Chains A and B, each alone.
Chain A
Amino acid sequence: MRGQALAIAGVIAGGVATFVMSLSTLDSLRLTQATYYQDYRFAQVFASLKRAPLSLASRIEEIPGVDRVETRVLAPVTVEIEGFADPVTGLLISVPDVGEPLLNRLFLRAGRFVHPNREDEVVISDAFAAAHGFTPGTKLHVTINGKRKHLTVVGVALSPEYIYEIRPGAIFPDYARYGIFWMARTPLSTAYDMEGAFNDVALTQASGTVLQDVIDRLDALLERYGGRGAYGREDQVSHKYLSQEIKALETFAIVLPAIFLAVAAFLLNVVISRLISTQREQIAALKAFGYRNMEIGIHYMKLVLMILAAGLAGGIGGGVWLGRSMSNLYQEFFRFPFLEYQLEPYVITTTCLVGLAAALLGTLHGVRRAAVLPPAEAMRPEPPVAYRETLIERAGLKRFFSQPTRMIARNIERKPLKSLLSIIGIAFACAIMMLGSFQEDAIDYMVNVQFGLSQREDLTVSFVEPAAPRALYELESFEGIEYGEPFRAVPARLRFEHRSYRTAIQGLEPRGRLKRLLNRKLETITLPENGLMLTDYLGGILGVRPGDTLRVEVLEGSRPVREVPVAALVSEYIGVSAYMHRETLNRLMREGNVLSGAYLAADLLKENEIFSKLREVPRIAGTVAREDAIRSFYETMAESILIFTFFIVLLAGTIAFGVVYNSARIALSERGRELASLRVLGFTRGEISYILLGELGVLTLAAIPIGFLIGRGLCAYLIVAVQSELYRIPLILEQSTYAFAATVVILSACISGLIVRRKLDHLDLVAVLKTKE
């Protein structure tokens, strides 16, 4: 019993650990997020605009429902770093000359805040500092608004606004190539020609007010000043990513523990039923002595509760440890200034209750059956088991089966439900494995589609202001640049019926070679002359189909409002966008032939020359090199994927081992007698092992394809559960994922098989002959 009890306790512990881990991590993340937001006054409404006089601030404050207002100057910046040739860009954010910002306050990790009236001081984001090893005192050469400046890092800080520090439009954070910088208001305004003005505002709402009202009024106020549409926290990039991560964790918090506890309930059921059938006579004797049904029930429940207690203790301990490690990983990933690890009492009570429910569910039936058996009946051995020929034997295949093989087949078929549940249990182990490793496949696939088929440019250059086509010719004349493709990007709000979405409309060349739009089959679609093409997911958000007409409210320039038909939906896994023929977009904007930037194909052997050349062009706001972004992403992901995979392998292994080991032990206890009889008749250890382990082998092998199906289903469920505007994970499962899952399951089965095989070697041949069945 000890081994079996341990195996079940292990499975319970696995479920409890994942439950405690997920819930406590979830609570910790939420609490940390809330505390961080509150203590560092994370704003609730954000808006950027072209330029407004500072005097507008007081009018914003007068908007009903507005609590605090912080106007800011935001400026794109390019950074030159010695020994680091890749283009580095960032965002400069103004902080008050004196004192701390009212909203989006900074957590200073090192150094100090900027001194008033020192123009060359800057505080940099922690992630960026860590990526380059920058510390207070480091000198930076930057270009702001086409002007080169020398800045000194005086502090390293964190902001609730940039918990997830990602370049707008990028998929993954790239700390080495994108940073956030804070500079005093006056020198930044001077450098960016924003004296007496601001181009960004953040505010908080008074409690009890309606967000949308505040946003609408703010939009109305900012419209004259080139407002690009205010938005709430829900649309703030960092917040969105963080919420997304929390949502994914919630899914895991339910799915994984549910599987574990279901498997544990099944195992308890099997083991307790078996135990009761072997102890039938003792039960009868106890009842004959006058023990009540309840007392006998309680006796068995005590055993179940002991196993449960062991599982709970191990699981809670392990879960807290995993939760802490996981929370620390998140802290590192999101660069929280602190982490409030939170283990709420409800997590423990819920875990215990859920565990108890699973255990009761698993055992009540067996215990009840034992308790209600009349003593006289219980004294008699259980009626002999009725066997019959299996379906495949009756189908005429019998003559190909040796007697041991027939025994295997008949045993499986005799208890079809138990066999099926064992198969499903093992299948879930396989499925969990797939859940663990499929993300890697999916990310590979997303990267391949995104960068191999859709975004094929080597570099993306964006201009500070829309530029004439000759800006592109100039770029194309640089040595090493082979080809350029212009694009126009315009912020806009798309409306359909009561739904709306704020995004950028990208005007592209109709037959672009670098940026291409794809349909569901990943075939290139040509941009039509008229109409919008929407990311399929955006089509879903807005509830539009090709042929419907959208209302497009441009949030830039003269802010035209137009009715535009939807021409087609495009398949994209990352972000959501709207695309248009560039010339049509120019016409819609009532502007000439202008571009916001260009996609470039370049000879990457000459990238250093190209980058230094690009830095000299004042109109360029930023340059992104694709390869570097991909590489750095893989570097950051590799470690966390490894940890996650290891964790999942452990969990899946526990389940596979738990199920196979318990099945094997039960089979051994049920059939030890006949196996020993066969040994007496001259069967070798290997031959009787075949009979016992062959059955498990059949169950395991049958479980694998079912596991593949369940795994696919779970992956599909996870994908739907975590899909968002940020990304949609495609259901891509490589053969290697299937192979790996199957291998882990087979290995776990083999290990438990070997352990049971050792027991088989020590069967007591003499004892078995002296006992009745």
Chain B
Amino acid sequence: MAHPPPQKPATGRRTAELTESAPAAILGQTKREPASPSRSIVLITAQIGKTMTTISPAPFETAPGTTLFRTRGLTKVYDMGAVQVHALRGVDLELFAGELVVLLGPSGSGKSTLLNILGGLDTATDGAVTYRDQDLTRANDEALTEYRRFHVGFVFQFYNLIPSLTARENVAVVTEIAEKPMTPEAALALVDLSDRLDHFPAQLSGGQQQRVAIARAIAKNPAVLLCDEPTGALDSETGIVVLEALERVNREIGTTTVVITHNADIAGMADRVIRLSNGLIANVQRNEHKKAPQELHW
């Protein structure tokens, strides 16, 4: 597995939050500094089980290999009137910093539900999900919004770009509200779109649009990049270009990346492959020999 770039010095405030909230074992390599009292209170409150009103506001650098997400007995039941659909039936899972994970499963296996809960778009019916030991299941809407704003990058099957904004502006829309973002230009350079900065989505191909979406997702320096069928709407050739972009981001910046797909061929590029079936984890497989995206085909 590729190593992340040298760790940037973390700010005192962020480290302090960790000190209060995370077990020392997980924080192994993080610098320790004195705690900020107000922040501690918020986080302690969160831990004793009330509705969490905030999540530490910015991504922190987490040493590769430490646990970023942990789910225990994660259950999601959709109430569809007469019937109840069990999307997740008690998922226990850990995701580690810096890894590239592919969540594989047929449609209806619960992979999107899992991703949505990890991304703070949905809440679990039962069980717990922690992000750096902060309990996402107890977070309210404001806290989840803040969590998405500062910690999570999303890439969707249908790109979800803003049609009225150019590529650069689509990235800027996120960097404007982020805390320590890259420049939109730098983010777009990472996905090889430096020559398309001022194109509107309607002027870009599907693959280019998806790469803009990736640039938008990584520009905020998120702790995790969640990709829901990122190549689902693309042909294989274009899909591979998009996967290359994801792989490069993961390799160069060290962003933890979760890709969900029903395309088993993509699994080859992952550090770990987690197979879901019928709302449960069927198996977890570690790829000893990761394939480069160029080696994939479907």
Please list the residues of chain A having a beta carbon within 8 angstroms of any beta carbon in chain B.
384-388, 402-404, 406-407, 410-411, 414, 673-674, 677-685, 687, 765-766, 768-773
A387-B177 in contact given A406-B165, A674-B162 (Cβ < 8 Å): no
Task: Sort A-B residue pairs by CB-CB distance and give the 10 closest, nearest first.
Answer: A682-B149, A384-B202, A677-B160, A403-B173, A682-B148, A410-B164, A387-B164, A769-B156, A407-B164, A674-B162
Q: Which residues 150-195 in B have Cβ within 8 Å of A in the complex?
A: 150, 152, 154, 156-158, 160-165, 169, 172-174, 176-177
Residues in B neighbouring A388, C-beta threshold 8 A = 200
Residues in A neighbouring B147, C-beta threshold 8 A = 682
A766-B163 in contact given A404-B173, A678-B173, A773-B158 (Cβ < 8 Å): no
| Chain A min CB distance to B182 (Å) | 15
**A680 touching B160, Cβ below 8 Å:** yes
**B164 touching A406, Cβ below 8 Å:** yes
A411-B164 in contact given A678-B173, A681-B216, A766-B121 (Cβ < 8 Å): yes
Residues in A neighbouring B135, C-beta threshold 8 A = none
Q: Which of B152, B164, B165 contacts A682 (CB 8 A)?
A: B152
Please list the residues of chain B having a beta carbon within 8 angstroms of any beta carbon in chain A.
112, 116, 119, 121-122, 142, 145-150, 152, 154, 156-158, 160-165, 169, 172-174, 176-177, 200-202, 216, 228, 233
| Chain B min CB distance to A618 (Å) | 87
Q: Which of A384, A385, A771 contacts B158 (CB 8 A)?
A: A771
| Chain A min CB distance to B255 (Å) | 16
Other than A385-B163, A407-B162, A682-B152, give 7 A-B pairs with Cβ distance below 8 A: A387-B163, A388-B200, A674-B162, A677-B160, A677-B162, A683-B145, A684-B142
**B152 touching A674, Cβ below 8 Å:** no
In the bound complex, what is the Cα–Cα distance between A388 and B160 (angstroms)? 18
**B116 touching A683, Cβ below 8 Å:** no
Which B residue's beta carbon lies closest to that of A403? B173
Residues in A neighbouring B164, C-beta threshold 8 A = 385, 387, 406-407, 410-411, 414
Which A residue's beta carbon lies closest to that of B170? A403
| Chain B min CB distance to A264 (Å) | 29
| Chain B min CB distance to A436 (Å) | 38
21 residue pairs A–B, Cβ–Cβ below 8 Å? A384-B201, A385-B164, A385-B202, A386-B202, A387-B200, A388-B200, A403-B162, A403-B165, A403-B172, A411-B164, A677-B161, A677-B162, A680-B121, A682-B145, A682-B174, A684-B149, A765-B121, A769-B121, A769-B158, A769-B160, A773-B163
| Chain A min CB distance to B121 (Å) | 5
B contacts with A: majority SS: mixed
| Chain B min CB distance to A671 (Å) | 9
In the bound complex, what is the Cα–Cα distance between A770 and B148 (angstroms)? 18
| Chain A min CB distance to B97 (Å) | 20
In the bound complex, what is the Cα–Cα distance between A304 and B119 (angstroms)? 42
A681-B173 in contact given A407-B165, A674-B162, A769-B228 (Cβ < 8 Å): yes
Residues in B neighbouring A773, C-beta threshold 8 A = 158, 163
**B163 touching A770, Cβ below 8 Å:** no
Residues in A neighbouring B200, C-beta threshold 8 A = 386-388
Residues in A neighbouring B112, C-beta threshold 8 A = 766, 770
Residues in A neighbouring B122, C-beta threshold 8 A = 765-766
**B202 touching A674, Cβ below 8 Å:** no
**B146 touching A682, Cβ below 8 Å:** yes
Which A residue's beta carbon lies closest to that of B142? A684
Residues in A neighbouring B228, C-beta threshold 8 A = 769
Q: Which of A406, A407, A682, A768 contacts B160 (CB 8 A)?
A: A768
A681-B172 in contact given A386-B202, A406-B164 (Cβ < 8 Å): no
| Chain A min CB distance to B226 (Å) | 10
In the bound complex, what is the Cα–Cα distance between A681 and B220 (angstroms)? 10
Q: Which of A678, A685, A766 contacts B116 (CB 8 A)?
A: A766
Residues in B neighbouring A682, C-beta threshold 8 A = 145-150, 152, 174, 177
Residues in B neighbouring A386, C-beta threshold 8 A = 200, 202
In the bound complex, what is the Cα–Cα distance between A766 and B118 (angstroms)? 13
Residues in B neighbouring A766, C-beta threshold 8 A = 112, 116, 121-122
Q: Which of A385, A402, A406, A679 contacts B145 (CB 8 A)?
A: A679
**B202 touching A387, Cβ below 8 Å:** yes
**B149 touching A683, Cβ below 8 Å:** yes
Which of A414, A682, A771 has the most chain B CB within a 10 Å cutoff?
A682
Which A residue's beta carbon lies closest to that of B204? A384
A673-B160 in contact given A403-B172, A682-B148, A766-B122 (Cβ < 8 Å): yes
Which A residue's beta carbon lies closest to that of B226? A680
**B121 touching A681, Cβ below 8 Å:** no
In the bound complex, what is the Cα–Cα distance between A673 and B200 (angstroms)? 17
Residues in A neighbouring B161, C-beta threshold 8 A = 677
In the bound complex, what is the Cα–Cα distance between A687 and B162 (angstroms)? 15
| Chain A min CB distance to B141 (Å) | 8
Residues in B neighbouring A414, C-beta threshold 8 A = 164
**A402 touching B150, Cβ below 8 Å:** no
In the bound complex, what is the Cα–Cα distance between A674 and B157 (angstroms)? 14
In the bound complex, what is the Cα–Cα distance between A370 and B27 (angstroms)? 61
In the bound complex, what is the Cα–Cα distance between A410 and B162 (angstroms)? 11
| Chain B min CB distance to A390 (Å) | 10
